[in-house]
Amino acid sequence: MLSRRNLILSGLGSLAVSGVGAQGVYPQKTLSFVVPWGAGGSNDIMARALQGILADQGFSVIVENVPGGAGSIGLTRVANAAADGYTIGMGTSSTLAFMSLGKTALKNEQFDHLVRVSVDPLLLVVSARGPHRTLEDFVAHMKAKPGGVSIGASGDLNPTHVLAAMTARSVGAPYIYVPYAGGTKILADLMGEHLEAAVLKPSDCKAQLDAGTLRPLGVYANERLAQLPEVPTFKERGHDVFAFGPVVQMGYIVAPAGLAPAVRRRLTEALGKALQDERFRKLADQNAFIVDGLSGEALAGEVGRVGNAIRDIAARAIR
């Protein structure tokens, strides 16, 4: 027969395994989901979609938009929060680039990496009214006008800028990089033929692609997109744009480093289930992003590789 002491110890062990502590079964209160970008953007839309789906699993979630510093202001709030499972945030490749290049004091080690939300295979896009119908056409144009062809993207030293630079490097011709504050002006300049090409997410230009006003020439990915099966990858056409490692535009969820294992497991499982929900899958299909559910140490490793690749390209291929 178990002694009173053994019964107590047995009960405590069960609580630890199931994620129960002095506060009860996790979660016991509302989670703060920090999106370090403004309302209405793609990361905000994904977070709010997950917010509703997680409610079905017993999670109360408030989405907080904390923009600034290419995402570093919001993620700093996450890094400095208590590691109790009640604060999570949306990491992105853009913030990761800032971290890798030392433009913020944030470090990957300040976070527990939970699950990847999205991968946006980027596209090289031109005006449908222009002369370039294929990637080969555009490559020939770059070689014929070295240093005279413009490629635009949002921001500096982020994945879109990096891949614009790697396009020129793989072609063997210099180019003119045109940074923009956002996608709206890029689209206007492309369609007005003030800009010759741009690196964009499919979700940034889907309406224009569907309307036939913009033309996709190549996908920066290892495989073609299911939503754009006719568009070749750069690799297919003999251009190594990942010579220094993987460069992907991705969103992933982090928490402050040091989550209790049971809490981390419960949170990761809930997020993974939400990503597989048909409502989130529909959002992914509509916006042509990939959901692979990469999590834990595998995700942390991928984050490290992407950050290293961005750092190396910035040092060796961007002038």
Q: Any idea where the domains of the chain sit in the sequence? A: 26-120+248-316, 129-220
Q: Which fold has domain 26-120+248-316?
A: D-Maltodextrin-Binding Protein; domain 2 (3.40.190)
Residue environment code for 168-204, b if the CB has 16+ CB neighbours within 10 A, otherwise e:
bbbbebbbebbebeebeebbebbbeeebbbbbbbbbb
Domains 26-120+248-316 and 129-220 share a fold: yes
Q: Model's pTM, two decimal places?
A: 0.85
CA dist 14 and 21 (Å) reads 10
pLDDT digits (tens, 9 = 90+) for 151-172: 999 888 889 999 999 999 999 9
pLDDT digits (tens, 9 = 90+) for 229-283: 999 999 999 999 999 988 989 999 999 999 999 999 999 999 999 999 999 999 9
CA dist 74 and 111 (Å) reads 13
Q: Quote the strand ranges of the chain, DSSP E.
A: 20-21, 24-25, 31-35, 61-65, 87-92, 111-120, 122-127, 150-154, 176-180, 197-200, 214-220, 249-256
First to last CA, the chain: 75
CATH of domain 129-220: 3.40.190.10
